Chain A
Amino acid sequence: MAENVWILGIHMTKFGKHPDKDTVDLASEAALGALSDAGVSMKDMGILAAGNLMAANAGIGQQLQKQIGQTGIPVYNVANACATGATALRTAVMAVKAGEVDYGLAVGVEKLAGAGLLGAGGRTASEGHKWDPKGRYGAVAPLDGRVGTETMPGVFAQIGMEYGHKYGGTSFELFAKISEKNHAHSTLNPLAAYTKRMTLEEIMNDVMIAYPNTRPMCSANCDGAAAAVVVSDSKLKTLSAEQRRRAVKVAASVLTTDPWEEACQVLPNVNSLTRNAARQAYESAGIGPEDLNLVELHDCFATAELVHYDNLMLCEEGGAADFFNSGASWRDGKTPVNVSGGLQSKGHPIAATGIANIWEVCTHLRGEAGPRQIEGAKVGLAHVIGLGSACGVHILEKAA
């Protein structure tokens, strides 16, 4: 019987601009915060899993150890697009589950403030030279802009439009209303990069990035880090009553990738792998979507949030627009979604996001979310997706 795994300590930095801190500073702040929250030290850790995407070859895990404790434990540097943080946590969870270690530390960190558009090829056109076929498509020129778009806002815009085409009920205004909700939620989150409530008109009249996503409907590039300490069930039993009370059960930890489907190589399909992850997570936790008290999902764009209502089975298939229009995903609704403000206002320091979403859920389950507390929260779900694609779903449960 594999070990149950618990989050013993968790921490996130303020998201936003940190010009005076580098990735190691931010990772250290998150890691030391999580260790202190857990009431343990680096000496207790049996494994470190560290995620950083933009400098994935730099060995952030070892850099972090050199700052906060070189104990010689195995370090896994992970990079898995926007699911990097969730992958780091899952790596630590797997080590505990396997019985190899009692304690694991997972960290995700990113410096992104001021970064431009992500996901684009960035190659410049070469007109006036020689048309020279290159690469797997034998292309004589960069394809971004000539054969559709390769940028994230455009890809996720199409994903939202495709959902609307299939099921109906969507509009520019509906997508903007989703963003309005998340910006409203962010006003209660002091760690969010942006905490400004925006009107529907402001959101709709802002700069259009890729129709129907205007700028406030896109995730905010920023700096930040988050970290979590996980512990085995048997070790937790030996800890103090206070540590046991605040521990949060990892009821499910799932990672999936795209299964083959027609069109998945033309437009990434963020739906099937999320649905598969959600199904596995509900099954493994023995919990259904109706039991969730809050959800932090990957609203990298307003269009993405809509499709994930459906993918995470918060509504019936095809019912995402109705689900939103019913008010269900507002903080006083049936299934509050992104009460942190989500990626659109809390911010999206890529590798930190997966653990930050889990931090938000844990903080509510511990009853420590202050003014934005979802009263009586017992179960929550955290979801991230990175294109390519990878999807992480974690279901978390308050200690009994």
Chain B
Amino acid sequence: MPKSDAPTASGRQVPLVDYLILGSDPHLEASECTQCQARFFDRRNACASCSGTEFKRVRLANDGTVRAFTIVTFAAPGVPVPFVSSVVDCDGTSVRANLINVDPTPEKLSTGMRVRLTTYSLGTDDDGVDAIGFGYEPV
């Protein structure tokens, strides 16, 4: 897995998850089964679709369409609410992510809305490393 422990002006950055690729052009990457093209975001032992074991890294489109969302107002302790959870269709690949930079109200949200990947800081740790999260914002 590529690690984007990339230096920046203010220090080093680390992505929230392995499949978020940082740098000047942040985007998501998936592991794609070379046999059946099924895509995965986690570390794989084999393909859930065809049991193949060969994968290649593929870049996902940064633009997508909201296929489902919910506004979560009750969550586990320590999870800030409300937040908008969604499933975004990025050119045929589904991504689970928060919708951000939008009012978490039913009036401001709809399935079918066009969104784009964006990143934000989760804060720095004791070593000054900045964790970078991602979400989708309305286009």
Contact = CB atoms under 8 A, between A and B. Distances in A.
Contact of A131 (B18, B80, B95, B131): B131
Given A147-B16, A172-B106, A208-B73, A158 B68 contact: yes
Q: Give the contact-size bracket for chain A.
A: 35 or more
Contact of A130 (B71, B80, B125): B125
A356 interface: no
A323 B131 CA distance: 48
Interface string B100-132: 000000100001100000000011011101010
Contacts of A141: 16, 122, 131, 133
Interface string A144-170: 111111010110011101101100000
B70 A158 contact: yes
Contacts of B122: 127, 131, 140-141, 146
Interface in B85-105: 85-87, 92-98
B92 A262 contact: yes
B126 A147 contact: no
Contact of A136 (B43, B74, B125, B129): B43
A147 B28 CA distance: 13
B49 A148 contact: no
A220 B26 CA distance: 42
Contacts of B87: 148, 158, 162, 263, 266-267
A267 B97 CA distance: 11
A6 to B, nearest CB: 38
Contact of A267 (B41, B48, B94, B111): B94
A137 B28 CA distance: 12
A149 B75 contact: yes
Contacts of B41: 137, 265-266
A204 to B, nearest CB: 12
A120 B18 contact: no
Contact of A127 (B40, B75, B123): B123
Contact of A139 (B17, B76, B96): B17
Interface of B: 1, 3, 14-19, 38-43, 48-49, 67-81, 83, 85-87, 92-98, 106, 111-112, 122-123, 125-127, 129, 131, 133-134
Given A138-B1, A145-B98, 19 more contacts: A117-B75, A127-B122, A130-B127, A131-B122, A131-B131, A141-B122, A145-B75, A145-B76, A145-B83, A146-B16, A147-B96, A147-B134, A207-B74, A210-B72, A211-B71, A213-B70, A265-B40, A265-B42, A266-B87
